[in-house]
Structure 1
Amino acid sequence: MSNVVKFLETLGQNLEIVSDADFMDAVAAAPVDGDVRQALATRDPARLNMAVGHTCTVLSLLVPAEEEPQQEEETERDAPDEGETEARAA
Protein backbone atom coordinates (compact mmCIF):
# COMPACT_ATOMS: atom_id res chain seq x y z
CA MET A 1 0.00 0.00 0.00
CA SER A 2 2.84 2.43 0.65
CA ASN A 3 3.64 2.30 -3.08
CA VAL A 4 0.09 3.44 -3.82
CA VAL A 5 0.33 6.30 -1.35
CA LYS A 6 3.73 7.35 -2.72
CA PHE A 7 2.36 7.21 -6.27
CA LEU A 8 -0.68 9.32 -5.39
CA GLU A 9 1.50 11.81 -3.53
CA THR A 10 3.89 12.09 -6.48
CA LEU A 11 0.96 12.41 -8.86
CA GLY A 12 -0.49 15.28 -6.82
CA GLN A 13 2.83 17.12 -6.77
CA ASN A 14 3.61 16.66 -10.47
CA LEU A 15 2.19 19.54 -12.48
CA GLU A 16 3.44 18.04 -15.74
CA ILE A 17 0.81 15.26 -15.74
CA VAL A 18 -2.12 17.11 -17.23
CA SER A 19 -3.43 15.00 -20.09
CA ASP A 20 -5.08 11.58 -19.98
CA ALA A 21 -2.12 10.14 -21.91
CA ASP A 22 0.34 11.51 -19.33
CA PHE A 23 -1.79 10.04 -16.54
CA MET A 24 -1.95 6.63 -18.19
CA ASP A 25 1.85 6.67 -18.72
CA ALA A 26 2.33 7.47 -15.03
CA VAL A 27 -0.03 4.66 -13.99
CA ALA A 28 1.77 2.21 -16.32
CA ALA A 29 5.12 3.14 -14.73
CA ALA A 30 3.81 3.01 -11.14
CA PRO A 31 5.21 0.22 -8.92
CA VAL A 32 1.78 -1.25 -8.12
CA ASP A 33 -0.05 -4.56 -8.64
CA GLY A 34 -2.60 -5.36 -11.34
CA ASP A 35 -5.80 -4.65 -9.36
CA VAL A 36 -4.44 -1.38 -8.04
CA ARG A 37 -3.17 -0.39 -11.48
CA GLN A 38 -6.59 -1.10 -13.01
CA ALA A 39 -8.34 0.94 -10.30
CA LEU A 40 -5.97 3.83 -10.89
CA ALA A 41 -6.34 3.58 -14.67
CA THR A 42 -10.14 3.73 -14.42
CA ARG A 43 -9.94 6.44 -11.75
CA ASP A 44 -12.21 4.42 -9.50
CA PRO A 45 -11.64 5.39 -5.84
CA ALA A 46 -13.97 2.70 -4.44
CA ARG A 47 -12.18 -0.02 -6.38
CA LEU A 48 -8.78 1.38 -5.34
CA ASN A 49 -9.92 1.39 -1.72
CA MET A 50 -10.90 -2.28 -1.95
CA ALA A 51 -7.74 -3.21 -3.88
CA VAL A 52 -5.52 -1.93 -1.08
CA GLY A 53 -7.61 -3.73 1.54
CA HIS A 54 -9.57 -0.89 3.07
CA THR A 55 -13.28 -0.85 3.52
CA CYS A 56 -13.82 2.37 5.44
CA THR A 57 -15.02 5.62 3.99
CA VAL A 58 -13.41 8.89 4.99
CA LEU A 59 -15.58 11.97 5.04
CA SER A 60 -14.51 15.51 5.71
CA LEU A 61 -16.56 18.50 6.68
CA LEU A 62 -15.65 22.16 6.55
CA VAL A 63 -17.40 24.45 8.99
CA PRO A 64 -16.92 28.20 8.66
CA ALA A 65 -15.47 29.94 11.69
CA GLU A 66 -17.75 32.05 13.83
CA GLU A 67 -17.48 35.75 13.24
CA GLU A 68 -15.60 37.63 15.89
CA PRO A 69 -17.11 40.83 17.28
CA GLN A 70 -15.92 43.95 15.56
CA GLN A 71 -13.26 46.05 17.27
CA GLU A 72 -15.40 49.21 17.16
CA GLU A 73 -18.16 47.67 19.30
CA GLU A 74 -15.69 46.57 21.98
CA THR A 75 -14.00 49.98 22.03
CA GLU A 76 -17.32 51.79 22.43
CA ARG A 77 -18.34 49.62 25.39
CA ASP A 78 -14.99 50.02 27.15
CA ALA A 79 -14.68 53.78 26.66
CA PRO A 80 -16.49 56.00 29.23
CA ASP A 81 -19.25 58.32 28.05
CA GLU A 82 -18.49 62.05 27.73
CA GLY A 83 -20.82 62.82 30.66
CA GLU A 84 -18.95 60.41 32.94
CA THR A 85 -15.61 62.01 32.07
CA GLU A 86 -16.90 65.52 32.88
CA ALA A 87 -18.47 64.34 36.16
CA ARG A 88 -15.20 62.79 37.30
CA ALA A 89 -13.28 65.97 36.47
CA ALA A 90 -15.60 68.17 38.56
Structure 2
Amino acid sequence: MKEPYLEVTFRHGQPLAAYLYLPRQQGEKSRKTAKAGQGLIIDFGESGNPIGIEITAPSNVTADDINCVLVKLGLSRISNKELAPLHAA
Protein backbone atom coordinates (compact mmCIF):
# COMPACT_ATOMS: atom_id res chain seq x y z
CA MET A 1 0.00 0.00 0.00
CA LYS A 2 1.43 3.34 -1.02
CA GLU A 3 -1.18 5.87 0.11
CA PRO A 4 -2.69 6.31 3.58
CA TYR A 5 -6.38 5.64 4.00
CA LEU A 6 -8.85 5.98 6.85
CA GLU A 7 -11.27 3.32 8.08
CA VAL A 8 -13.96 4.36 10.56
CA THR A 9 -16.20 2.04 12.60
CA PHE A 10 -19.61 3.45 13.53
CA ARG A 11 -22.09 2.33 16.16
CA HIS A 12 -25.56 3.85 16.42
CA GLY A 13 -24.52 6.51 13.90
CA GLN A 14 -21.53 7.69 15.94
CA PRO A 15 -17.85 7.00 15.20
CA LEU A 16 -16.65 4.38 17.68
CA ALA A 17 -13.05 3.93 16.51
CA ALA A 18 -10.92 4.56 13.45
CA TYR A 19 -7.66 3.45 11.92
CA LEU A 20 -5.41 5.44 9.63
CA TYR A 21 -3.50 2.94 7.52
CA LEU A 22 -0.05 4.22 6.56
CA PRO A 23 2.13 3.03 3.67
CA ARG A 24 3.51 -0.42 4.43
CA GLN A 25 4.78 -3.61 2.89
CA GLN A 26 2.09 -6.07 1.90
CA GLY A 27 1.22 -8.32 4.83
CA GLU A 28 3.21 -6.31 7.37
CA LYS A 29 1.71 -6.62 10.86
CA SER A 30 2.00 -4.54 14.01
CA ARG A 31 4.82 -5.59 16.35
CA LYS A 32 4.96 -2.61 18.70
CA THR A 33 2.69 0.25 19.74
CA ALA A 34 3.26 3.68 21.27
CA LYS A 35 0.83 6.24 22.64
CA ALA A 36 0.82 9.48 20.70
CA GLY A 37 -1.50 11.62 22.74
CA GLN A 38 -5.02 11.21 24.00
CA GLY A 39 -6.94 8.84 21.74
CA LEU A 40 -4.04 8.05 19.39
CA ILE A 41 -1.84 4.94 19.28
CA ILE A 42 0.85 4.36 16.67
CA ASP A 43 1.43 0.85 15.36
CA PHE A 44 4.93 -0.02 14.20
CA GLY A 45 5.73 -2.92 11.89
CA GLU A 46 8.51 -5.47 11.98
CA SER A 47 10.82 -2.98 10.25
CA GLY A 48 10.22 -0.39 12.97
CA ASN A 49 8.38 1.90 10.57
CA PRO A 50 4.95 3.27 11.50
CA ILE A 51 2.21 1.32 9.71
CA GLY A 52 -0.92 2.86 11.19
CA ILE A 53 -2.52 5.08 13.77
CA GLU A 54 -5.34 3.78 15.94
CA ILE A 55 -7.85 6.49 16.76
CA THR A 56 -9.61 5.28 19.88
CA ALA A 57 -11.66 8.43 20.51
CA PRO A 58 -12.63 9.82 17.09
CA SER A 59 -14.94 12.48 18.49
CA ASN A 60 -12.11 13.89 20.64
CA VAL A 61 -9.34 13.86 18.02
CA THR A 62 -8.87 16.62 15.47
CA ALA A 63 -7.20 16.63 12.07
CA ASP A 64 -4.49 18.81 13.62
CA ASP A 65 -3.84 16.14 16.29
CA ILE A 66 -3.38 13.47 13.64
CA ASN A 67 -1.25 15.67 11.39
CA CYS A 68 0.98 16.59 14.32
CA VAL A 69 1.70 12.88 14.85
CA LEU A 70 2.30 12.33 11.13
CA VAL A 71 4.78 15.22 10.97
CA LYS A 72 6.63 13.92 14.05
CA LEU A 73 6.90 10.56 12.29
CA GLY A 74 8.38 12.26 9.21
CA LEU A 75 5.28 11.59 7.12
CA SER A 76 3.15 13.86 4.98
CA ARG A 77 0.12 15.59 6.42
CA ILE A 78 -3.30 14.25 5.47
CA SER A 79 -6.00 16.61 4.25
CA ASN A 80 -9.02 17.59 6.31
CA LYS A 81 -11.17 16.19 3.49
CA GLU A 82 -9.61 12.74 3.91
CA LEU A 83 -10.23 12.89 7.68
CA ALA A 84 -13.83 14.21 7.35
CA PRO A 85 -15.43 10.79 8.09
CA LEU A 86 -14.16 11.06 11.69
CA HIS A 87 -16.70 13.79 12.36
CA ALA A 88 -19.32 13.00 9.71
CA ALA A 89 -21.96 11.58 12.04
TM-score, normalised to structure 1, is 0.29
TM-score, normalised to structure 2, is 0.29
Pick 1 or 2: higher relative contact order, CA cutoff 8 A, min separation 6. Answer: 2
Query: Normalized per residue, which structure has more helix?
Result: 1
